[in-house]
Amino acid sequence: MHCASRLAEEGFQATCFEEHSTIGRPVQCAGLISRSGVEDLGLRLDNSIVNQVRGAKIFSPGGESLTVERKETVAFVVDRLVFDQNIYKKAKRVGVEVKMDSKLIDIRNNSLFMQNQGHGELVKSQITVGADGANSIVRHALFPKIQENGFVQGFQIRAQGHFDKNLVELHFGEFAPGFFAWVVPESSTVARIGLGVRLGQSAAKGLQQFLQQRQLKIRTLSKVGGLIPISQPAKELVKGNVLLVGDAAAQTKATSGGGLIFGLKAAEACADTIATHLKHKQSLASYSRNLADINKELGLHWKIYSYTQGLRPEKFDSLFAKARDAGIEKFLEDCGDMDRPGSFMRKMLLKPKMWGLLPAVLKTI
């Protein structure tokens, strides 16, 4: 919808089809987004902010921990429903037509086969953007080369308990094979607690195991689940007059599963590509050029993810201890950015204390 808004602002006619009757429901998200990403995008979060966090506490499988905490806000915890509704309201304001209860069933070139409250409809579109999430019909139909197994299964509860409202927690361990568990505080008494697991494993069981192992005493308020794309950036995101964006295009950070900021940035690159195509007849294939910076960072997230997933638990623990001894906590407080590993990896080279970690960094790269 962000892509459609940008196009409408440029004077083009844009229509969004949404299968549900309410924008933003069901909510399947922890709602954590970086302040730097919000600032890059010039987003106005307004009434969607639930909490502001200053850093993270990260636990290795054996319980070694690293704490990175700044004096100022580094990330926002948002109400995802309100966040999505704000994007929808803006789209309406700038003239995007939004058709609710309209489900895409299939797509062939410029023909969209829709179902509206049980009735079939054929829609002709000059250019189509598949922004239909992790289970994208558009991707299934037209982009078979994009890995269909590059996902983790996410599961999350909203729970009452005692939490540090300033810090997010990340926990690696056998309870979350292929990913990690998270605690994202809404306040000192409510948090979103979840994890991801490889497809085929039970995320709900993993969460149970995590809560027991880390002895978290909580009362569950609600539960959600959903797929999270975890893969390297897809090379081919344009086919004829169809483009993919967001989770449909696996534009999530492989290290965390976060897709909001990169998905929105990619939506802008997608809108710019389409606008230039319509105005100056430039090929839609320039989308991949316009995604170069985004894909560079996403590629690095993928390499870090692949490296850490290849570590045995004892190696993970010893890497944490080594990193702490090298002063990584202070270094990340000064130079870290949860979205842009590229920037702090370069800065590591300038800090002699960090050179002991270079073999691990080089293996990642």
Ligand X SMILES: Cc1cc2nc3c(=O)[nH]c(=O)nc-3n(C[C@H](O)[C@H](O)[C@H](O)COP(=O)(O)OP(=O)(O)OC[C@H]3O[C@@H](n4cnc5c(N)ncnc54)[C@H](O)[C@@H]3O)c2cc1C
Q: Which residues bind ligand X (CB under 6 A)?
A: 17-20, 28-33, 103-104, 131-133, 137, 154, 156, 194, 226, 228, 246-248, 252, 257-260, 263
* Helix axes of 2-9 and 260-280: crossing angle, nearest 10 degrees: 30
Q: What are phi and psi of 143, to 5 degrees?
A: -125, 65
Residue located via tokens 């999430």: 133
User: Which residues, at least 6 apart from 299, have a Cβ–Cβ distance to it below 8 Å?
Assistant: 232, 233
**Pick 256 or 308: Cβ nearer ligand X:** 256
CB of 77 to ligand X, least distance (A): 8
Question: Looking at beta carbons only, is 61 or 263 nearer to ligand X?
Answer: 263
Residue with Cβ nearer ligand X (153 or 308): 153
Q: What are phi and psi of 326, to 5 degrees?
A: -80, -5
Side-chain half-sphere of 32: how many Cα atoms within 13 Å? 30
Q: By C-beta, is 234 or 260 nearer to ligand X? A: 260
In whole angstroms, give the CA distance from residue 78 to residue 49. 4
Task: Report yes or no: 229 and 178 within 8 Å, Cβ to Cβ.
Answer: no
Residue pair 178/206 in contact (Cβ under 8 Å)? The answer is: no
Q: How far is the CB of 103 from ligand X (least distance, A)?
A: 4
Distance CA 23, CA 87 (A): 9
For ligand X, give the closer residue by CB, 121 or 325: 121
Residue 98 or residue 335: which is nearer to ligand X going by CB? 98
> Shortest approach of ligand X to residue 41 CB, angstroms?
12
**What is the nearest approach in angstroms of ligand X to the Cβ of residue 225?**
7
Q: How far apart are CA 114 and CA 135, in angstroms?
A: 16
Q: Are 345 and 297 in contact (CB under 8 A)?
A: no
Instruction: List the structure tokens of 353.
Output: 């204390």
User: Nearest distance from residue 246's CB to ligand X, in Å?
Assistant: 2
Minimum gap (Å) between residue 137 Cβ and ligand X: 4
